A and B are shown apart, each in its own frame.
Chain A
Amino acid sequence: MTAGAGAGVQGSRSRRRVGDGADSPDGGRQRAAKRERTAGWGFVLPAVMVLLLLNTFPLVYSLLLSFTRVDTSTGLQIGEFTLGNWTSLMHDGQFWGSVSFTVVFTVIAVVVEYGVGLCLALLLRESLAGAGFFRVLFAIPMMLAPVAIGFMWRMLYDQSNGPIDAVLRGLGLGSPGWLSGSHLAVVSVVIMDVWEWTPLMFLLLLAGLQAIPTEVIDAARVDGASALQVVVRIIVPMLAPVSVTAIFLRMIDSFQVFGQLFLLTGGGPGTATTSTTLFGFFQGFQSFDLGYGAAIALSLLVLVIVVSTLFLSLSRRMLQRVET
C-alpha cells in the first residue's frame, strides 16, 4: 500500500529488471548494463519525441505568444515583444475572478465527490444483493461527453419546462432560479460536477476498500470497535494512498473544467461561473487576442503546478504519519 501515492508516479520499490542477476565478470557486466540502457532508449525515445513535439513545443510557443501582441488584422501575424499581456493580466479583475471561481469550484466539488464516493463505496463493500447492478449504474455518468452533460443539466434546471421546477411547483414551492443567481449558479454547477465525477471517486475507493484484508477489520470488530470506529480508525487511514491518487486526479481535471460550463451557463450569470479555461477561451478565441489568451492559459498551468506540488508534498507527509 505504498505506491499509488503521488498519483502512481513511483512504482513498487522492489521491481526487478530484465538482465538483473546475470552473473558475468564485472567489466562485462558494466558493458552489458550500458547496452541495456541503449536498448531501453529504443523503447522510450519515440514517446519522448512525440511529447516534445506535441506538448513541450506548443508550451514554449504559448510562452512566446504570451510575450507578443498577436495582430489579428494582418492574418494572425506575431508582433513584437511586449510584457503588456502579463501586466494587464495581473490587473484584470475578471481574471482573478475566474481563478477564485476555479479554486472554489474545485475545492467544493472534490470534497463532496470524495465524501459521497467514500460513503457509496463503504455501502457496497460487503456483499449485498444487487451490488453489481449498483456498481455499473453508478459508473455511467462519467462516460457521457461534457457537452452532453452541460445541455442535460440546462434542460433539468430550466424554469418553465424543466422537471425539477415542475416538481417543486407541484409541492407548492417556487423556483429558486437555479442558474440566475450568482451564488446559486455556482451550487448548480457543482451539483452537475458531482453527478458527473462522483463515479470516478466511487470506483477508485471501492477498489481500494476491497484490497483491505478483511481480517484486519474482523479483528477490530472482535476487540469491540463500533462500525463507525472501524471506518474512522482503520478504513480511512488504510485508504489514504488511494484517496491521494483519486483526489489528485480529480483536482487536476477539475481545474481545467470547460465544456460543461460553456454549455450550461456560458460562464454566467455575469462572470459568476467563468472558469479560467473558459476565460482564456473567451479572450483567445472570441476576442481573438491569442497573446492574452496564452498568458491566461499559462497562469492556469502555474496554478495547477503550485497546487499539485503543495498537495502532493502535504499528502506525502500525511501518509508517512499514517504508516508509522
Chain B
Amino acid sequence: MTSKARWRYIPLILWAIFVIFPLYWVLITAFKDNRSIYGGAKFIPFVDFKPDLGAWASILGGDNSILGPLWHSLLAVTLSTLIAMFVGTAAAYGLARYDLKLAWMGSRDISFFIISQRMMPPIVAVMAYFILFRQIRLLDTIAGMTVVYTGFTLPLVVWFMQNYFRQVPVSLEEAARTDGASRFMIFWRISVPLTTPGLIATFLLAFSFSWNDFLFAVMLTQTRATTLPIAIAQQQGQLGTAWWNICAISLISMVPMIAAAIVLQKRLVTGLLGGSER
C-alpha cells in the first residue's frame, strides 16, 4: 500500500494545482490596484506588488457598492428557494407515496413531466417572461425574480426529494396512520423530519442554482432588482474593466457556496444518485 500508493499523489497534486491556481489569481487580484494589474503579471503579494484594499472599500459602500445587489440576491434567491422547497417537497412526497392517475398518466408520467422541465433551456422561458413581465409590471422587481427562480428550481427539488423519500421506510408512517394521524400531519411531522439531511442538501443546491444565475437576471433586471452576478458583469464599463472589483465581488459571492459545501459534504451526491448506489 505505502510505496504503491505514493505515485498517486503526483496526478492528484497536478490537478490540485490546476484547480487552485485560478482561484489564487482571483484572490490576489482582489488586492491589486490599477498599477499592479497592468504592466505584466504579478504573482506574489508584498514581493511583486503592494496589496491594496481599494476594491473592498469601493464595493462595500463606496462608489461601486454591491450592498443593493447583495440584498436583492439574498431576498429573491432565499424566498424562491423556500417556496420551491415547500411546494416541491410536498409534490415529491405525493409522487413517492401515492399511485396517482390522471387519464392515461400515472405517478411516473407526472413525475417525468415535472423532472423533464429541467431539460427546457432557460432561454426559452426568458423571452416569454420578458414580454409578460413588461405587461404585468414585474420587470426589474424582486418579486419577479422570485417568481422566475421558483419555476427554475422547482423541478430540481421534486427530483431530489423524491429520491430521499423513497429511502425512508414507510413503516413509521403506517404506525402513525393507525394512531389516526391525518395525512398532512404524517407528511409534515414524520416524513419531512426523517429526510432532514436531504432537505438541507436540496435547499443548498437549489439556492446555488439561482444564486449563480446570470441569464434570467441579465434579461429581466435593470437597476432595482439587479443580482450579484449582474454586479460582477457591470464592473466591465466604458472606462475599462475594474478587475479588482470583479474579483472581490466574486469572492463575496462564493461565501454562501463555501458554507454550503461544508454542510453538504457527501450528502449532495447521495441526493443526486438517489437509491442507485444501494
Q: Is the CB of A44 within 8 A of B121?
A: no
A128 CA / B11 CA spacing, docked (Å): 13
Q: Give 6 A-B pairs besides A3-B276, A144-B257, A161-B40 with Cβ atoms closer than 8 angstroms.
A: A8-B276, A11-B162, A58-B129, A123-B8, A210-B277, A256-B121
Chain B positions within 8 Å of A2 at CB level: 276
Q: Does B151 contact A (CB under 8 A)?
A: yes
Q: Does A145 contact B (CB under 8 A)?
A: yes
A3-B274, A12-B275, A61-B128 are known contacts. Are A43 and B119 too (CB-CB below 8 A)?
Answer: no
A47-B87, A134-B16 are known contacts. Are A128 and B5 too (CB-CB below 8 A)?
Answer: yes
User: What size tier do the contact residues of chain A reach?
Assistant: 35 or more
Q: List 21 A-B contacts (CB under 8 A).
A: A4-B275, A4-B276, A8-B163, A8-B274, A11-B274, A12-B166, A17-B99, A18-B174, A46-B91, A47-B158, A48-B110, A58-B125, A76-B131, A146-B229, A204-B269, A207-B273, A208-B273, A210-B277, A297-B121, A301-B119, A304-B120
A43-B93, A123-B11, A145-B211 are known contacts. Are A151 and B278 too (CB-CB below 8 A)?
Answer: no
A4-B276, A8-B276, A281-B123 are known contacts. Are A145 and B5 too (CB-CB below 8 A)?
Answer: no
Q: Is the CB of B39 within 8 A of A161?
A: yes
Q: Which residue of A lies closest to B100 (CB)?
A: A40
Q: Does A173 contact B (CB under 8 A)?
A: no
Query: Quick one: which of A97-140 are within 8 Å of B by CB?
Result: 116, 119-120, 123-124, 126, 128, 134, 136-140
Interchain nearest-CB distance for B13 vs A (Å):
9
A259-B229, A300-B123 are known contacts. Are A51 and B151 too (CB-CB below 8 A)?
Answer: yes
A263 CA / B246 CA spacing, docked (Å): 12
Q: Which residue of A lies closest to B258 (CB)?
A: A143
Chain B positions within 8 Å of A315 at CB level: none
A248 CA / B34 CA spacing, docked (Å): 43
Q: Which residue of B lies closest to A141 (CB)?
A: B19
Query: 6 closest pairs, A vs B, by CB?
Result: A4-B276, A40-B98, A43-B94, A54-B151, A47-B91, A211-B277
A256 CA / B152 CA spacing, docked (Å): 14
Q: Is the CB of B260 within 8 A of A155?
A: no
Q: Does B142 contact A (CB under 8 A)?
A: no
Q: Is the CB of A11 within 8 A of B100?
A: no
Q: Is the CB of A304 within 8 A of B121?
A: yes
Chain A positions within 8 Å of B97 at CB level: 17-18, 40
A47-B158, A140-B19, A161-B37 are known contacts. Are A207 and B110 too (CB-CB below 8 A)?
Answer: no
User: What size tier do the contact residues of chain B reach?
Assistant: 35 or more
Q: Which residue of A lies closest to B212 (CB)?
A: A145
Q: Is the CB of A76 within 8 A of B134?
A: yes
Q: Is the CB of A146 within 8 A of B278?
A: no
A163 CA / B115 CA spacing, docked (Å): 43
A4-B275, A162-B41 are known contacts. Are A207 and B270 too (CB-CB below 8 A)?
Answer: yes
A140 CA / B232 CA spacing, docked (Å): 19
A234 CA / B267 CA spacing, docked (Å): 26
Chain B positions within 8 Å of A259 at CB level: 214-215, 229
Query: What is the predominant secondary structure among interface residues of chain B facing chain A?
Result: helix
A22 CA / B88 CA spacing, docked (Å): 28
Q: Does B226 contact A (CB under 8 A)?
A: no
Q: Is the CB of B25 within 8 A of A138?
A: no
Q: Does B208 contact A (CB under 8 A)?
A: yes
Query: What is the predominant secondary structure among interface residues of chain A facing chain B?
Result: helix
Q: Is the CB of B119 within 8 A of A305?
A: yes
Q: Which residue of A lies closest to B24 (CB)?
A: A163
Chain B positions within 8 Å of A148 at CB level: 26, 229, 232, 246, 249-250, 253-254
Q: Does B183 contact A (CB under 8 A)?
A: yes
Q: Is the CB of A65 within 8 A of B131?
A: yes
Interchain nearest-CB distance for B17 vs A (Å):
10
Q: Is the CB of B250 within 8 A of A144?
A: yes
Query: Quick one: which of B223-256 are within 8 Å of A by CB?
Result: 228-229, 232-233, 236, 243, 246-247, 249-250, 253-254
A19 CA / B94 CA spacing, docked (Å): 13
Chain A positions within 8 Å of B120 at CB level: 55, 59, 301, 304
A43-B93, A153-B22, A166-B40 are known contacts. Are A300 and B266 too (CB-CB below 8 A)?
Answer: no
Task: Say which residue of B41, B154, B258 sits within 8 Å of A51 (CB atoms).
Answer: B154
Q: Does A230 contact B (CB under 8 A)?
A: no
Q: Does B15 contact A (CB under 8 A)?
A: yes
Q: Is the CB of A144 within 8 A of B254?
A: yes
Q: Is the CB of A137 within 8 A of B273?
A: no
Q: Which residue of A lies closest to B276 (CB)?
A: A4
Q: Does A83 contact B (CB under 8 A)?
A: no
Q: Does A308 contact B (CB under 8 A)?
A: yes
Query: Quick one: which of A39-94 are within 8 Å of B by CB?
Result: 39-44, 46-48, 50-51, 53-55, 57-59, 61-62, 65, 70, 76, 78
Interchain nearest-CB distance for A238 vs B (Å):
11
Q: Does A186 contact B (CB under 8 A)?
A: no
Per-position binary interface string of chain A over residues 244-280, scored 1 when its CB falls under 8 Å from any chain B CB and 0 otherwise:
0100010010011011001100000000000001001
